[in-house]
Amino acid sequence: MTSLTIVLVEPRIPQNTGNIARLCACLGAKLYLVGELGFVLNDKHLARAGMDYIDRAIPEHVTEMAALNDTNPLDTRYYLSAKATKTVWDVSFPRHVTLVFGREDKGLPPALIQSNPDRAITLPMPGEGRSLNLSSAVAATAYEVLRQQQCVLQ
């Protein structure tokens, strides 16, 4: 059995969070929201984007990252940033993974990336764009983790 946890640090856009909650429901992943949110948890846009899946992946809101330290002790955390140099393709993901994503407009705090340089990763973007939409980045990364884990489990 695999374990996947998604952490969103200060998400701003309820539609992204709802879409990610729906993804988490489909993957059986846990979802944590950290810090100040750009919306309220009963936002109609959050519910609409999550559709009827939102009840299966109810996001847990905590005030700071430290609150997650005891939640998944077996997990290895990876910090996603467009500024990282190592890609998701450079990582052999373990069985228990927590993926940490920053807010849509600023990404993760630079100190978090700098204090975890060996686990700061990015999605390859060979085109002209500087970053992906948050929900797209979460989905692409989560499915790469799942792909690797399924290869190991088969």
Task: Average the pLDDT over 104-119 and give the result.
Answer: 93
137, amino acid identity:
A
The pLDDT value recorded for residue 154 is: 42
Give the strand order in the sheet containing 96-101.
60-62, 30-34, 3-9, 96-101, 76-80, 120-122, 86-87
The pLDDT value recorded for residue 105 is: 92
CB contact set of 104 (below 8 Å; sequence gap of 6+) = 11, 12, 13, 16, 133, 134
* Phi, psi (degrees; rounded to nearest 5) at 124: -65, 135
Beta bridge partners of 3: 96
- Helix then strand count (H, E) for the chain reads 4, 7
Asked if residue 51 has pLDDT above 90, the reply is: no
Q: What is the pLDDT of residues 58-103, one digit of tens each?
A: 788 899 988 888 777 778 999 999 989 999 999 999 999 999 999 9
Do residues 71 and 7 make contact, with C-beta atoms less than 8 angstroms apart? no
Q: Going from the N-terminus, what domains does the chain have, and what CATH number goes with each?
A: 3-153 (3.40.1280.10)
Containing 146, the helix (H) or strand (E) segment is: helix 134-153
> Can you tell me whether residue 80 is helix, strand or coil?
strand
The pLDDT value recorded for residue 114 is: 92
The pLDDT value recorded for residue 38 is: 83
4, amino acid identity:
L
Asked if residue 150 has pLDDT above 90, the reply is: no
Asked if residue 55 has pLDDT above 70, the reply is: no
The pLDDT value recorded for residue 54 is: 63
Asked if residue 153 has pLDDT above 50, the reply is: no
Q: Which of 75, 95, 91 is nearest to 6 (CA)?
A: 75
The pLDDT value recorded for residue 151 is: 59
Quote the mean pLDDT of the chain.
86
What pTM was estimated for this model as a whole? 0.90
